[in-house]
Amino acid sequence: MRMPVRVVPEEEFRSWLAAGGGKPPATCEPSGTELRIAAEDLVFDLGCLAAPAGRPFTIAFDNRDQGVPHNVAIYTDETAAEALFVGEIVTGPTEVVYEVPALPAGTYFFRCDVHPATMTGTFIVG
């Protein structure tokens, strides 16, 4: 497993904190009903997924992590209190295709339920 670490001077860190920290919100556009995402080294390869509103779609999920369980789950927001779709947890390496029912237009949150602190992203339905 690899985990990137970046050491920065204290002044740069404080500036990052003052600016709100973290990355800007991810944006992407729907390009069809067949989505793909992979997990490797405990991170997703994409920070944003998008699907068309009101149409069922698939997510081809490639879990590349040997012996590590992952899934893709879509929630209304980052609290993960209300699930819109929860994919089966699969142990890698393996691939699975999730069949997701139509969702209303909106900006949602996706994550791996096994690693919710590190494997997250924005899910746009439009």
Tokens of 126: 């439009």
Task: Determine the average pLDDT of the residues in 79-106.
Answer: 98
CA gap 43, 65 in Å, rounded: 10
Q: Do the strands 43-44 and 48-51 form a parallel or antiparallel pair, or are they unpaired?
A: unpaired
What are the structural domains of the chain?
26-125 (2.60.40.420)
CA dihedral angle for residue 67, residue 68, residue 73, residue 78, rounded to 10 degrees: 180
pLDDT at 7 (0 to 100): 73
Q: Where are the alpha helices (DSSP H) in 4-73?
A: 10-18
Give tens-digit pLDDT for 6-41: 676 777 666 655 665 555 556 799 989 999 999 999
Q: State pTM to two decimals.
A: 0.81
Q: Could you tell me if 110 and 122 are in contact, meaning their C-beta atoms sit under 8 angstroms apart?
A: yes
> Does the pLDDT of residue 102 top 90, yes or no?
yes
